[in-house]
Copies of this chain bind each other. A is one copy, B any other.
C-alpha cells in the first residue's frame, strides 16, 4: 500500500497529530497557508532538500532517519547563521514503491527531529513522484543577537576553529558501503553520525553565549571547500594546519585523512573569532565540548594547508553541489 492508497485526509490527520502549535500560530495546517504572528526582528530563511540516490540510499538508511536528516540539515543552516530555528514547512515527493508504513515512518522522523529543537511544523506538500524520493524543508529562525553570523564575517587575524571531529559521517558511509567491520561496535559511532547527523546544538548555544564569533558556517560539503567558500565571501584567505585538524585516529590508521578534508555531511560548525576572545572559547572547551583551533585568517584568497611546517597540496576539495 503506497501513497495512492492514502487519502489526502488521512495524511493530513497523521500530520496534524504531529502539529505542535505555538501560541503565535493563528492558523495551522489545513488551509492554503499557515498564519503566524511574528514580532519585529531579524529572521533567517533557509531551504534545503535531499534526494534518494544523491543524498541517501535506502540500502543504508531508513525513512525515519531520512526524515530526521532533512530537518537536521536545515537546523544546521539556521544555527550557523546565529539564529534559533522556529518554524518549518516540508514537501515530500513520494514514489509509488514506498509503502504507507514507510511514509508514516518518514513523518515520525521529521517529527522526532523537530521536537528536539522545539520546532513547529507549519505545513507543506506531499506529492507523488514518478520514481525519485525527495524531501525538501524550508525553515525560519530568528537571530539571537543583532548581528548575523554568516560566511562573510571573517576578519584578518581571526583564529579559525571547528566543533567536533572531521570525516566521521563520510567514514560511516564508507563502513556501510564497503561492509568493513560492520559488526565492530567501535565503528557504530561513525555509522550513527552518517545516519543521524544531529547538529551540536548544546555546543552552539555555549558558543553563542561567548559573543566572540565573527563568521560561522556548517561543514556540509567538506572542510576545505566550505572554508574556501567562507574565505571567498569574507574576501580573506585561511592558513590551516594538518596537525591541528580533529581527525579520528582510525582514519589516520587507515590512511583515510582524505575523508576528513573533503568528506561531506560533517554538519559541524566552522567559525572564526578574534584572538583576544580565545579565553572565552577555551572556557567552552573546559565544559567538555570538543573544539579545535585549526588555523588563522590572513589577507588574500583561498585555503592554504600546512603539514609539518610545509605547504601541502590539496587534491580534492569536497563535494560540489548546487546549494544557493
Chain A residues in contact with chain B, CB under 8 A?
Answer: 3, 6-8, 11-12, 15, 26-27, 29-55, 76-78, 80-81, 83, 87, 89-91, 93, 122-132, 134, 136, 138-141, 143, 148, 150-152, 217-218, 233, 320-324
Q: Distance in Å from the Cβ of A80 to the closest Cβ of chain B?
A: 5
Q: A36-B43, A132-B93 are in contact. Are A15 and B127 (CB under 8 A)?
A: no
Q: Distance in Å from the Cβ of A133 to the closest Cβ of chain B?
A: 9
Whether A44 and B33, one on each chain, are in contact in the complex, defined by CB atoms closer than 8 angstroms, is yes
Q: A30-B151, A151-B30, A323-B125 are in contact. Are A90 and B132 (CB under 8 A)?
A: no
Whether A33 and B322, one on each chain, are in contact in the complex, defined by CB atoms closer than 8 angstroms, is no
Whether B45 and A36, one on each chain, are in contact in the complex, defined by CB atoms closer than 8 angstroms, is yes
Whether B47 and A123, one on each chain, are in contact in the complex, defined by CB atoms closer than 8 angstroms, is yes
Q: A8-B321, A32-B81 are in contact. Are A125 and B89 (CB under 8 A)?
A: no
Given contact pairs A36-B44, A51-B127, A93-B93, enumerate 17 new A-B contacts (beta carbons under 8 Å): A8-B322, A8-B323, A30-B324, A31-B81, A32-B76, A33-B45, A33-B77, A35-B83, A36-B45, A38-B38, A38-B40, A47-B89, A47-B125, A49-B91, A125-B136, A127-B134, A131-B131
A148: chain B residues at CB < 8 Å are 26-27, 35
A29: chain B residues at CB < 8 Å are 324
Q: Distance in Å from the Cβ of A188 to the closest Cβ of chain B?
A: 29
